[in-house]
């Protein structure tokens, strides 16, 4: 049974996590290319940059989440969160293939995508999350997942709709599978996380989850081209 004080601390903690998620949406909206996605006017080069960088981190999602879940199990801590991490890892399986398919319909082969340079934001994201998953506090990955799924429920479906409506990119209707699917799925995923994380009272895990949410909020917006179309492309 939770005491009144514990209940309040838990509610405050979830509110702080939610604030990070909303701050991420605001930081993404402030990126020129993300703003153009919301208006539907992003050019093919900017959208391809976004999809390629997304591929370079999303391809690791199943491993990041699954390994964190299995390690948490081995440590004998928070069985429900270990279950949630493994389940989320499975949910992410194959999402990298949606990205490859969207990119193929925009004229990019898998070889080109694999050879493309990763942005520093992607390296920071994968480096940090592999660290927490394999050697840090494994529940931390849930902070990353929470803010990114919140962003996805708020923006992914809308980005897809607006870009299709404006049709500024040739073949765009065949190239929004990743965005459309996430817009449809991640509302439920966020609700499920709120339900399960609402029961977490361990301050160390709360802090770790919140810290990872902050890292994702700082790092993720930089996967877009810096300054939008005026930026120097990352060399392949
Ligand atoms: Fe996904
Ligand atoms: Fe999800």
Which ligand number lies closest to the CA of residue 94?
1
Q: What is the mean pLDDT of residues 57-79?
A: 98
Which range of 127-131, 186-190, 226-230 scores highest in mean pLDDT? It is 127-131
Q: Where are the domains of the chain?
A: 10-227
Distance 95 CA to ligand 1 centre (A): 5
Q: Which long-range contacts (CB under 8 A, 24 or more apart) does 126-130 make?
A: 126/56, 126/57, 126/60, 126/64, 128/212, 128/215, 128/219, 129/60, 129/64, 129/212, 130/60, 130/64
Residue 57 binned pLDDT confidence (cut-offs 50, 70, 90): very high
Residue 228 binned pLDDT confidence (cut-offs 50, 70, 90): confident
Residue 231, pLDDT score: 62
CATH number attached to the domain at 10-227: 1.20.910.10
Q: pLDDT for 104-118, tens place per residue?
A: 999 999 999 999 999
Distance 210 CA to ligand 2 centre (A): 18
pTM of the model: 0.94
Which ligand number lies closest to the CA of residue 93?
1
Which ligand number lies closest to the CA of residue 189?
2
Whether the per-residue pLDDT at 85 is higher than 90: the answer is: yes
């Amino acid at each position: 049974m939770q005491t009144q004080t514990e209940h309040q601390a838990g509610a405050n903690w979830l509110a702080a996590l939610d604030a990070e998620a909303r701050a991420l949406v605001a930081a993404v909206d402030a990126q020129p290319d993300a703003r153009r996605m919301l208006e539907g006017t992003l050019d093919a080069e900017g959208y391809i940059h976004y999809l390629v960088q997304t591929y370079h981190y999303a391809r690791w999602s199943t491993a990041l989440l699954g390994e964190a879940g299995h390690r948490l199990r081995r440590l004998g801590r928070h069985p429900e969160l270990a279950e949630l991490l493994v389940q989320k890892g499975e949910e992410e399986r194959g999402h990298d293939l949606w990205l490859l398919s969207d990119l193929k319909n925009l004229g990019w082969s898998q070889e080109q995508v694999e050879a493309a340079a990763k942005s520093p934001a992607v390296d920071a994201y994968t480096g940090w999350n592999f660290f927490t998953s394999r050697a840090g506090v494994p529940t931390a990955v849930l902070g990353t997942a929470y803010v990114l799924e919140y962003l996805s429920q708020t923006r992914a479906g809308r980005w897809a709709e607006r870009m299709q409506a404006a049709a500024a990119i040739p073949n765009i209707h065949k190239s929004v599978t990743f965005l459309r699917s996430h817009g449809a799925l991640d509302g439920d995923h966020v609700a499920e996380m709120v339900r399960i994380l609402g029961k977490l009272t361990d301050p160390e895990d709360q802090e770790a989850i919140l810290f990872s949410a902050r890292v994702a909020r700082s790092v993720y917006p930089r996967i877009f081209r810096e300054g939008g179309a005026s930026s120097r492309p990352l060399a392949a």
